[in-house]
Structures are given as structure tokens and as C-alpha cells.
């Protein structure tokens, strides 16, 4: 038992930097062999809409200055249940920069609640009621792109992707932000094979694909951002990661940083464990390591209590490998990262399970992904019926209707 716990402890501490170094070595060997093919430069595509879901924070409206050059291609989506003062500020900001506004739901009544509970995913789903462009760029308020949105869409088209994620960095101010920078650097190359590992709310997609994915989205809460890419990959769509960078807001206080980590763990538990059938049916999703991480928590606790030597060796080697990978040996934050990984495995993951159970009990939903509709399910408006009917007969309901 102790030997097994030692192995689990060392794998937990060393898997992340070893995988990062292996990915770097593989990329270096491919470059030496000339395997990297460079196609024609992407052509910017202007047929897009930048969708920004706003949630009632006045400071969010002050962070929309970076999108002023996009003008009417920006669509601000908010719930109509916000206070009138906030809505006036919203319309003022939109009018000053030429943005469009789409309000969702009923207006707030006097003395009622200030928020109708519409989630970010719900706002994005409602935005498709007014979208007409061919492509969608989704940004959170306060997130600025390093490249113009038209260029991002051009890269999406050139790569032949249906949906692409974009990594959101944070300013390296403070220990927490620098710690997140080390974590992002270790998983940078792995995002190309598993785009749902990208942190942040920025992504690019074809409008038709985006609307269909949001229609199937569970809107569960934890894991909603990663669910979109996982759902697209499970449906056989082309999902990738763009090397473009986006700059988001800082991590804030320790309490906010901790809460975000626990919510991310709850989302990982839902996507990997609750939807374990996806890990079995679609090995390319690479959800198996997440399942193993949750299953190994008892062994990790046993290893920490019974094998302190393995724990110390794992922390030291992890720090060395992280320093080599990030090329920042003197930085003390790099040596704090193995402690962060250990705390995440021992404490954050179990708390994520509890958060998932609490959300499931409160909402009455399990968070199971609905990858495919049943053949008897109602079709959405303006969608062509392409499902095969049961038994002998025409392949499509539209064919049957045309022969009447």
C-alpha cells in the first residue's frame, strides 16, 4: 500500500513538468526534421460578431475601451433585470462606441431582485437570437486580444476549425498571478492536443456550430467554459487552439483565487468523472488523467502521511523541472508551484467534488453532457431534419414530407 502511494505521489508531482518537457522535445525534433508546414498567411475575415456577456458590474463597462475600433460588430448581451441605473450606463457606453445591445428576459420590477440569475452561458445562448454573422468571437469584459478579431477568425478559417480556444493570460502582478503564469507555461503545448485545457472565456467559432453547441449545453455552472470544447470534440467537430494571446484581469484576492480554483476542480470532476462515458468512448479527449487524479486522492493522503521522503523528493524534482522548463530558476514562485500542485491534489480536488454535489442538489441536475439528440427530439427552428427515421422508408423526414 505504501509503495503504491509513493508511486501515485510521485506521478502527481512530476507528471505536469515531465509532460511539458516531452512536448517541448517533440516540437524541437519536429522542427529539426522540417515537419512543421507553414501554409499561406491567414486572410482576415470581417464577417464576425464580438459577443461580450456583461453581468451587472459597472467596472466591466469601463473595460470595453479596447473594442471601440470594432464598433457595431460588438454585441453586448445582458439581462433586462438589472437596475435602471446600470442599464442607462450600459446604453451610454454602447452609444459612445457604436456597440449593439441585446437585453435578455423581463425588465426588473420595483423592489424586486437585482439579478435574474441568467448565467454567462445563458446569455451567449440568447445572443444567437440576433446574430447573423458567419463567425463569433466571445470575450469576457476586461479581456483584450493581442490581435484583431478579424485576424483570429482568419486563422480559424485557415486551420479548418469549427471552434478554437484562446489562452487568457493575467498581468504578472503578485504571487498568485505569477504562479498562474508558471502553470500556464507548463501546459502551453498540451493545449494544442487538448484545447479545453485553455483557461479563460475567449474563444472563436463558426456561428452555426456555436449556436448548436449552446443549444446542447447543460448550463450547469462549474465547467461550463470547458464543456463547450469538450462537447464539440465529442461530436466530431474540428476543435483546436490558437496561439494568439488574450490579456485578462488579475486574479484578485486570495479568496477569489481560491474560489476559482475550487470551481475549476468541480468542473473537472463533472466533465471527467460524471461524464466518464466520454473518456471511454472518446480517448482523444484525454479525460483519463483527470479521472485518475480524483481516484488517487486517498492514495496521495496515505503517501503524504507514510512516505515523507518520497514527498520531499517529488517537491524538489518538480521545482527543478519547472525551473528548467520556464527558464526562471531564481524565481521563488517556480519553487512554490510544486506546493501548489500538492495542495490542489490533496485539498482542492476533494472540495471540487463537494461543490459539484452541492450544485447538483441545488439545481436538480447532474451535469451529464447530451452529445447527441434522440431521434424523436424536437428540431430547433430553421434546422434541416437530417436524422434517419426508424424502420424502412426514406432516410430523412424532409424526404418523406416531399413525397406526400
Separation of alpha carbons 105 and 249, rounded Å: 28
Spatial neighbors of 376 by CB under 8 A, at least 6 apart, are: none
Going from the first residue of the chain to its last (404 residues), give the mean pLDDT of each consecutive group of 10, the final group possibly shorter: 79 82 75 61 91 87 86 93 90 92 70 53 92 94 88 94 88 80 78 77 92 92 90 91 81 82 93 92 87 89 85 87 74 84 93 95 90 60 40 38 38
Maximum alpha-carbon separation in the chain: 77
pLDDT of the residue at 395? 39
Evaluate the CA torsion angle 197, 198, 202, 204 in order and state its sign: negative
- Taking the whole predicted model, whether its pTM rises above 0.85 is answered as no
Pairing of β 203-206 and β 163-169: antiparallel
Distance, CA of 224 to CA of 217 (rounded, Å): 8
Q: CA dihedral in degrees (156, 160, 164, 166; nearest 10)?
A: -50
CA 179 to CA 336: how far, in whole Å? 8
Residue in the structure block whose three cell numbers are 457595431: 72
Which residue matches cell numbers 446600470? 86
**Number of neighbouring beta carbons within 10 Å of residue 228:** 24
Return the domain boundaries, the chain.
1-21+285-363, 48-107+114-259
What is the per-residue pLDDT for 35? Answer: 53
End-to-end CA distance of the chain: 70
Q: What radius of gyration, in Å, describes the C-alpha atoms of the chain? A: 23
- CA-to-CA distance for 52 and 141, rounded, in angstroms? 6
Q: Which CATH architecture has domain 48-107+114-259?
A: Alpha-Beta Complex (3.90)
HEC secondary structure over the chain = CHHHHHHHHHHHHHHHHHHHHHHHHHHHHHHHCCCCCCCCCCCCCCCEEEEEECCCCHHHHCCCHHHHHHHHHEEEEEECCCCHHHHHHHHHHHHHHCCEEEEECCCCCCCCCCCCCCCHHHHHHHHCCCCCCCEEEECCCCCEECCCHHHHHHHHHHCCCCEEEEEEECCCCCHHHHHHHHHHHHCCHHHHCCHHHCCCCCEEEEHHHHHHHHHHCCCCCCCHHHHHHHHHHHCCCCEEEEEEEEECCCCCCHHHHHHHHHHHHHHHHHHHHHCHHHHHHCHHHCCHHHHHHHHCHHHHHHHHHHCHHHHHHHHHHHHHHHHHHHCCCCCHHHHHHHHHHHHHHHHHHHHHHHHHHHHHHHHCCCCCCCCCCCCCCCCCCCCCCCCCCCCCCCCCHHHHHHCC
Query: Rounded to whole angstroms, how far apart are CA atoms 57 and 62?
Result: 9
d(CA 122, CA 377): 21
Q: Taking the CB of residue 125, how many other CB atoms lie within 10 A of it?
A: 20
Position 113 scores a pLDDT of: 38
Question: What distance in Å separates the CA atoms of residue 399 and residue 404, rounded to the nearest whole number?
Answer: 9
Torsion of CA 19, 22, 24, 25, to 10 degrees: 180
* The pLDDT value given to residue 357: 96
Distance from C-alpha of 33 to C-alpha of 286, rounded to nearest angstrom: 27
Amino acid at each position: 500500500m505504501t509503495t503504491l502511494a509513493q508511486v501515485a505521489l510521485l506521478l502527481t508531482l512530476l507528471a505536469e513538468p515531465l509532460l511539458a518537457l516531452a512536448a517541448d522535445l517533440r516540437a524541437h525534433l519536429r522542427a529539426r526534421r522540417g515537419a512543421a508546414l507553414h501554409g499561406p498567411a491567414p486572410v482576415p475575415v470581417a464577417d464576425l460578431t464580438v459577443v461580450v456577456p456583461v453581468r451587472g458590474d459597472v467596472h466591466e463597462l469601463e473595460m470595453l475601451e479596447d473594442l471601440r475600433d470594432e464598433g457595431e460588430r460588438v454585441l453586448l448581451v445582458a439581462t433586462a433585470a438589472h437596475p435602471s441605473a446600470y442599464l442607462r450606463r450600459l446604453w451610454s457606453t454602447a452609444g459612445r462606441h457604436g456597440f449593439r445591445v441585446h437585453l435578455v428576459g423581463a425588465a426588473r420590477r420595483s423592489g424586486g431582485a437585482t439579478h435574474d440569475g441568467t448565467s454567462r452561458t445563458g446569455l451567449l445562448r440568447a445572443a444567437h437570437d440576433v446574430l447573423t454573422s458567419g463567425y463569433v468571437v466571445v470575450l469576457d469584459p476586461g479581456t483584450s486580444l493581442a490581435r484583431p478579431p478579424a485576424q483570429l477568425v482568419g486563422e480559424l478559417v485557415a486551420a479548418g476549425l469549427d471552434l478554437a480556444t484562446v489562452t487568457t493570460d493575467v498581468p504578472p502582478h503578485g504571487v498568485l498571478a505569477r504562479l498562474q503564469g508558471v502553470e500556464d507555461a507548463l501546459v502551453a503545448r498540451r493545449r494544442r492536443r487538448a484545447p479545453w485545457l485553455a483557461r479563460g472565456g475567449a474563444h472563436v467559432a463558426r456561428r452555426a456550430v456555436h449556436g448548436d453547441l449552446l443549444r446542447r449545453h447543460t448550463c450547469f455552472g462549474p465547467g461550463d467554459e470547458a464543456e463547450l470544447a469538450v462537447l464539440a470534440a465529442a461530436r466530431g467537430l474540428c476543435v483546436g487552439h490558437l496561439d494568439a494571446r488574450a490579456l485578462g484581469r488579475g486574479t484578485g484576492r486570495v479568496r477569489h483565487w481560491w474560489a476559482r480554483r475550487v470551481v475549476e476542480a468541480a468542473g473537472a470532476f463533472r466533465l471527467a468523472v460524471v461524464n466518464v462515458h466520454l473518456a471511454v468512448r472518446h480517448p482523444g479527449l484525454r479525460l483519463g488523467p483527470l479521472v485518475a487524479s480524483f481516484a488517487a486522492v486517498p492514495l496521495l493522503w496515505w503517501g503524504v502521511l507514510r512516505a515523507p521522503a518520497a514527498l520531499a523528493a517529488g517537491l524538489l524534482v518538480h521545482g527543478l523541472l519547472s525551473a528548467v522548463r520556464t527558464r526562471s530558476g531564481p524565481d521563488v514562485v517556480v519553487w512554490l508551484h510544486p506546493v501548489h500542485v500538492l495542495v490542489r491534489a490533496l485539498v482542492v480536488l476533494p472540495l471540487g467534488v463537494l461543490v459539484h454535489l452541492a450544485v447538483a442538489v441545488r439545481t436538480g441536475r447532474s451535469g451529464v453532457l447530451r452529445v447527441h439528440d434522440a431521434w424523436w427530439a424536437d428540431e430547433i427552428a430553421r434546422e434541416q431534419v437530417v436524422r434517419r427515421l426508424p424502420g424502412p422508408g426514406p432516410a430523412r423526414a424532409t424526404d418523406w414530407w416531399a413525397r406526400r
